[in-house]
Amino acid sequence: DAGVIQSPRHEVTEMGQEVTLRCKPISGHNSLFWYRQTMMRGLELLIYFNNNVPIDDSGMPEDRFSAKMPNASFSTLKIQPSEPRDSAVYFCASSIRDRVGYEQYFGPGTRLTVT
């Protein structure tokens, strides 16, 4: 299996621009997670989906952030408009949620820099 795939791996953009991050989960996995990692705040869960349905978006920092999962093999995280404080590494992770416990696998991350 190719693992969780994220694109782009690096993104540099100017403040005010729209940013779209993409994720392809591991085939057969039915849960998908978006995380953000910064030095100051560590690893934060932004939102997660079960069977393409958003379950908990309480970690989404503000209305500028939105996430979609139109099908089982694709998800996007969009920031519009972007701000310098959004600079971070954004990780996507997936798992199989067909039992009580599950093992979560992370993608390589997208390093976002907003100038």
Partner 1 sequence: GIQVEQSPPDLILQEGANSTLRCNFSDSVNNLQWFHQNPWGQLINLFYIPSGTKQNGRLSATTVATERYSLLYISSSQTTDSGVYFCAVEQGGANSKLTFGKGITLSVRP
Interaction of residue 50 with partner 1, rule CB under 8 A: yes
Q: Which two three-digit tokens encode residue 79?
A: 């920031």
Interaction of residue 12 with partner 1, rule CB under 8 A: no
Question: Which span (15-23, 66-74, 78-86, 104-112) binds partner 1, by CB under 8 A?
Answer: 104-112
Question: Which span (20-28, 41-49, 67-75, 76-84) binds partner 1, by CB under 8 A?
Answer: 41-49
- How crowded is the C-beta side of 80, counted as CA atoms within 13 Å? 8
Interaction of residue 25 with partner 1, rule CB under 8 A: no
**CA 87/CA 110 separation, integer angstroms:** 10
What do you get for the CA distance between the two ends of the chain, in Å?
A: 36
